[in-house]
Copies of this chain bind each other. A is one copy, B any other.
Amino acid sequence: MTTTKKAAPPSERRAHLIRLAADLFAEKGFRATTVREIADAAGILSGSLYHHFDSKESIGDEILRGFLDDVLDGYRRAVADVDDPRVAIERMVRSSTAALSRHRAALTMLQNDWAYFSAQDRFAYLRTAMKEIEQTWIDQLERGKQDGQFRADLDARLIYRLLRDILWIPTSWKQAQGKSWTTDEVVDGLLRLLFDGVVAR
């Protein structure tokens, strides 16, 4: 059980299979997706998947890692060399949105099956990453309060929690029905709502 199995030969085929699996995870969630469905999408049998991966979880692992690395990298660059917290937050919002549209599956997995993943030692890095994300947001919100730019009665932690989840939202609209907005329209509407609210000044 503890023997080191095949690590991760980064083949072309393998990457393609991950993309197929990610699409299914994005639509149905991780647990609700079966390895047989993934195999069907690839036009092979379920057993053949285990030539590339040693378990269904390792597929999920790879998807989640890629997502979090992307997000954290974006945040670090968003706050680097930026003094104005409002600018930093706007850059974080745009960075988040871009990353989320690149990793739609990871988000669905996190919100549907968070309890499943975070209970496993293998996915301990999830908690670590989430903490860094939270701290980054709170730092910028607090800075905005201190320099008088944001309302002094702002609960930074509460606003962060709301914001984080709000940012997830538009991702789930991607495949939805009818008239849809462009990414820019959504982000601009969101930023406007965040900074100014709906009331006319």
A141 to B, closest residue via Cβ: B198
Cβ contacts under 8 Å, A115 to chain B: 27-28
Q: What does the 1/0 interface line of A163-201 toward B look like (CB < 8 Å)?
A: 001100110110000010100011001101111111111
* Interface size, chain A (Cβ < 8 Å): 47
- Given contacts A112-B112, A166-B169, A169-B162, whether A150 and B29 have CB atoms under 8 Å apart is no
Structural contact, A196 and B199, CB atoms closer than 8 A: yes
CA–CA, A149 and B197, complex, Å: 12
Query: CB < 8 Å: which of B186, B195, B200 contacts A158?
Result: B186
CA–CA, A74 and B113, complex, Å: 31
- Given contacts A165-B169, A166-B169, A199-B196, whether A159 and B189 have CB atoms under 8 Å apart is yes
Structural contact, A197 and B196, CB atoms closer than 8 A: yes
- Given contacts A150-B198, A150-B200, A166-B166, whether A159 and B28 have CB atoms under 8 Å apart is no
A199 to B, closest residue via Cβ: B195
Structural contact, B112 and A29, CB atoms closer than 8 A: yes
Cβ contacts under 8 Å, A82 to chain B: none
Cβ contacts under 8 Å, A193 to chain B: 159, 162, 193-194, 197
Cβ contacts under 8 Å, A154 to chain B: 198
Cβ contacts under 8 Å, A192 to chain B: 151
- 7 smallest CB-CB distances across A and B, nearest first, come from A197-B197, A196-B197, A165-B169, A195-B197, A195-B199, A150-B198, A151-B200
Q: Beyond the given A31-B31, A112-B112, A165-B169, could you list 12 further A-B residue pairs with CB under 8 A, ordered by the A residue number?
A: A29-B112, A32-B116, A144-B198, A151-B196, A157-B179, A158-B185, A166-B166, A193-B193, A195-B198, A196-B196, A197-B197, A201-B201
Q: What are 21 A-B contacts with C-beta separation under 8 Å?
A: A32-B113, A32-B116, A86-B199, A112-B112, A148-B200, A149-B200, A150-B199, A150-B200, A151-B196, A154-B198, A155-B185, A159-B193, A161-B169, A161-B173, A162-B189, A162-B190, A162-B193, A193-B194, A193-B197, A195-B198, A201-B201
